[in-house]
Amino acid sequence: MIQDDFLTANFNTRPGVFGRFCAVLLRLCGWRVLFVEPVVPKAVVIVYPHTSNWDFIVGILARYAVAAPIGFVGKDTLFRPPFGALFRRLGGIPVNRRQSTGFVEGLVEAFARNKSLYLAIAPEGTRARSDHWKSGFYRVALAAGVPLGLAFIDYSRREVGIDTWLALSGNEAEDMAGIRAYYAAKRGRWPGKAGDIRFR
């Protein structure tokens, strides 16, 4: 079950000392952060492609660099000692993926409870090659009535960020076609591991 410890901040804060340090570190490593703030207080954010453990590090640095209060969903095994407390501190929300029920319902309830909530999900569900995406993010966004942020970590251009917020139509074929078009030129650290942008 999903624990009730979500980020509820907004985008009105400026990066602090640590955030500015993260921005400098990314620049020194050759990364550019592209970020467009959402105009609504709640959104689901998908992160693609996800092919390497480095994605988490680059993504967290970028999040602090722009002071974006975005939490993330992760498998519950990541939140065990010794690093569980750190992942929670970074905005992580553990989910038991061994259970086939309750994921979507739990997140929809979380959006209803919170005045402000931005939650990132990796739709591939794994760093290994997958022939489809998990549809949970889509069902959550539709049921909660919130837009979808398209986050990316593009190693071919050394760019990371979110520059598009998409209002889903509910027409799955059309929505997925738009998402595929957006990510067509984005490349992960290991392009061969990037999952096919389609549902099962």
- Residue 83's φ and ψ, nearest 5 degrees, are -105, 0
Task: Write the pLDDT tens digit of every residue in 18-62.
Answer: 999 999 999 999 999 999 999 899 999 999 999 999 999 999 999
CA neighbor of 145 nearest in space, from 107, 183, 101, 180: 107
> Which H/E stretch holds residue 59?
helix 54-65
Domain boundaries, the chain: 17-188
What's the rounded mean pLDDT across residues 171-180? 97
Q: Which percentage of the chain shows pLDDT scores above 70?
A: 90
| Neighbouring C-beta atoms of residue 4, cutoff 10 Å | 11
Is the pLDDT assigned to residue 2 strictly greater than 50?
no
- Predicted pLDDT of residue 111: 92
Is the pLDDT assigned to residue 6 strictly greater than 70?
no
- What's the CATH class of domain 17-188? alpha beta
Instruction: Write down the pTM of the prediction.
Output: 0.85
